[in-house]
Structure 1
Amino acid sequence: MATSSNFFIHTFLISSLTFFPLSPSLADDDTDKPVVEQLVDTLSTIAGPHPGIRKNHAKGIVVLGEFTPSAEASSVSSAEHLQSASTPVTIRFSNTTGIPDIADTNPSSFPKGIAIRFQLADNSYTDIVSISVNRFPVATPEDFLGLLNAVAASGPDTPAPKPITQFLASHPAAKTFVEIEKPAPVSFATQPFYGVNAFKFINKEGEVNYGRYQIIPVNGPEYLTDEQRAAAGNNYLFEELPKRLKQNKAEFILALQLAEKGDEVNDPTMVWPETRQLVKLGTLTIESIDPNGEQFAKQTMFNPLALTDGIEASKDPILLARPSAYAISYGRRLSGQ
């Protein structure tokens, strides 16, 4: 593997595989730590010292809007926000990495992230946390750590075959993830997002379906050309969105791709066929920038397992481990670490 290719894989994997970073050094003896704590330590090491800042997805922008459920949403779940009334939402778009000033066009800022908080009537909430890639590279936190350790051991002077070459050769899903195209969106409002983890949905009749979220711009995706990307400013996404919202609202379709019998629901590397039924759950309408967004983001931990009646977690080990890592990062952020 050429040095430039190895560098790309290193930066892209470490920054964009959002949920599980590698240990700071292969020589460090931190194996007694829980995996999730090692992961947060590593994000801090990779990004450098940024006290009080998110350890991943540090650069973000918060917007306000509402979610209006579709007529068919209640057929798949009895969840409160999927019934007839509209629900206020707070949404945070973000770049990957713990670097708060990373350029929007930097390969290490991909995939982009979206976190959605639905404010329910009883002052509780439920969250969706998704990324702009419709897959994950590995099926377990341990394999993810193995992948990143292989990357860390594959420096320019490492003789061939490098550990990362061997890992990708034996893990085709990771190889696919590394090589997938990552176009730059015209706007956060033109970027599709995907839930890589499946959830269990139960309707009022007790019928069960497993599904994964898709969050698709109403007018379809729009991406920059290579020339436009090269010319774009470091903060073009964060400058474009406020201007857009002053002119018009932005809309996304929140959809649910339903699994069929035989589809793997506990492995985020397994992308279901596009022929699977897609149920429109409703419309997300973004109305304005949150004037208190920075404070909200600092004080808020989005949690994919903050669920409400009618939606339950699958047994996906990646999904089940995410909130623990988030909580460690959140605690450090509040304490100024």
Structure 2
Amino acid sequence: MTPFKLTLLAKACLITGLALTSPTLVAAEKTIPELVDAVNGTPDAASREAGKKVKLRNHTKGFCTSGTFKPDPQLQQTLAIPFFNQDAIKVTARFSLGGTNPQISDKTAGRFMSLKIDGDKENLNFVTTNVPVFFASNLEDFFTFQTKVKQGAEGKQWLIDNQPSAKAFFDYVKQLPPSPSFANSRYYGVNSFLFSPQKGGAQQGETVAGKWIFEPVAGTAALSASELANLGDDFLKAEFLARIKTQPAQWNLYIQLAETGDEINDPTVIWPETRQRLLVGQVVINGGRDSDPQVQQCDKGIFNPLLLPKGIAASADPILNARTAAYVESFIRRQ
């Protein structure tokens, strides 16, 4: 294992605590290795070993690039998050499609954006998708979903017939048209976090719950059937990297705030669009650091959504709290 990989693993171990030694720490219902097997489609020892040889992982098809994050100074009037008191902060980004198939077509609707924002003393990672609703609210349903979708049409129909959250997810994806660019997608953090308000500010109480939303400055866009037919299966990476050579891709980052009665520990629930949003800042992806080893190696590590600065804490969402341990398990299998 290279020194770079050892460093990544050491950091992951420190972050996840007992995650590497206690695979049942998240829930007795399913272990972390079982969850990773469900995602990878490796239910037995033979398939698991075969998966390790090809470095099987979710979001296999993707690429890394870079940019900056510019915090909005007005945020500090509402929330007490010292991390956002900095000027422009360096960003490492990975854009990807879902699944373990490296040949998946870009004509599918799913788009994913993961970010590492590395400040002077603290860090903040994001794992986001263009679908605002998740397909499972607990680890048991997550395992069932991942297992059933590997069975093809029959398994998908079972989920539609037996799991309302899975049906709602499929219904949303079905009406979601593919975007012509990663830059034309809105990205959601489906899990909730807890934010510390400024004392005496508009938000009262010890913490306020919220979700991340990235709004594309270029606006959202959808490919028509005729446009889609004229494209190949691998247009997204080339389009994006060509785009940022002339004009950066940009997103405004917001926190959508929960109100009393909103479900904050269940990612299958979408909050009303009328919920208040706070502008956090702007992500600017321009490829300026793409020659840096950190950027070139970013797809070999993990994006840890629980690596949080002071003033931000994880909610009790079981899906959120299983992510890091699962990512570390997947990372270890790829070495």
Which whole-Å CA distance do the structure 1 matches of 2:294 and 2:120 have between them? Answer: 21
SS at match of 1:72: helix
1:178 aligns with 2:174: no
* TM-score normalised by length of structure 2: 0.79
SS at match of 1:88: strand
Correspondence 1:293-308 to 2 at 5 A: 295-308=296-309
Q: Which amino acid aligns with 2:210?
A: G
- Residues 185, 148 of structure 1: alpha-carbon distance in 2 compared, 3 angstrom cutoff: same
After TM superposition, give the deviation of residue 49 of structure 1 in Å: 4.4
SS at match of 1:211: strand
After TM superposition, give the deviation of residue 63 of structure 1 in Å: 1.6
Which whole-Å CA distance do the structure 1 matches of 2:182 and 2:234 have between them? Answer: 12
SS at match of 1:253: strand
Among the aligned pairs, what percent are the same residue?
A: 32
Q: Which amino acid aligns with 1:184?
A: P
SS at match of 2:297: helix
1:114 aligns with 2:108: no
Partner of 1:25: none
Q: Deviations over 1:235-274 (max 9, x none)?
A: 1001101110111111100011000011000000110001
Partner of 2:145: 147
Unaligned segments of structure 2, at least 5 residues: 1-27, 200-204
SS at match of 1:329: helix
1:95–1:111 CA contact under 8 A, matched in 2: yes
- What is the root-mean-square deviation of aligned Cα atoms in Å? 2.5
2:39–2:147 CA contact under 8 A, matched in 1: no
After TM superposition, give the deviation of residue 127 of structure 1 in Å: 0.5
1:281 aligns with 2:283: no
After TM superposition, give the deviation of residue 191 of structure 1 in Å: 0.8
Partner of 1:325: 326
After TM superposition, give the deviation of residue 50 of structure 1 in Å: 7.1
172-181 or 131-140, larger mean C-alpha shift? 172-181
Q: Which amino acid aligns with 2:285?
A: I
Which whole-Å CA distance do the structure 1 matches of 2:114 and 2:295 have between them? Answer: 14
Q: Deviations over 1:214-240 (max 9, x none)?
A: 011012101211211122112100110
Residue 40 (structure 1) aligned to one of 19, 36, 43 = 36
Which whole-Å CA distance do the structure 2 matches of 1:316 and 1:307 have between them? Answer: 15
93-102 or 133-142, larger mean C-alpha shift? 93-102
Q: Which amino acid aligns with 1:325?
A: A
Correspondence 1:26-105 to 2 at 5 A: 34-45=30-41, 49=51, 51=53, 53=55, 55-105=57-107
Partner of 1:310: 311
Q: Deviations over 1:73-96 (max 9, x none)?
A: 223433333225221111111111
2:106–2:234 CA contact under 8 A, matched in 1: yes
Q: Which amino acid aligns with 1:173?
A: S
Partner of 1:189: 183
After TM superposition, give the deviation of residue 133 of structure 1 in Å: 0.2
After TM superposition, give the deviation of residue 204 of structure 1 in Å: 4.0
Partner of 2:134: 136
SS at match of 2:286: strand
Partner of 1:12: none
- Residues 171, 240 of structure 1: alpha-carbon distance in 2 compared, 3 angstrom cutoff: same
Partner of 2:194: 200
- Residues 331, 218 of structure 1: alpha-carbon distance in 2 compared, 3 angstrom cutoff: same
* TM-score normalised by length of structure 1: 0.79
SS at match of 2:41: helix
2:112–2:129 CA contact under 8 A, matched in 1: yes
Unaligned segments of structure 1, at least 5 residues: 1-31, 157-162
SS at match of 2:125: strand
2:83–2:310 CA contact under 8 A, matched in 1: no
2:38–2:147 CA contact under 8 A, matched in 1: no
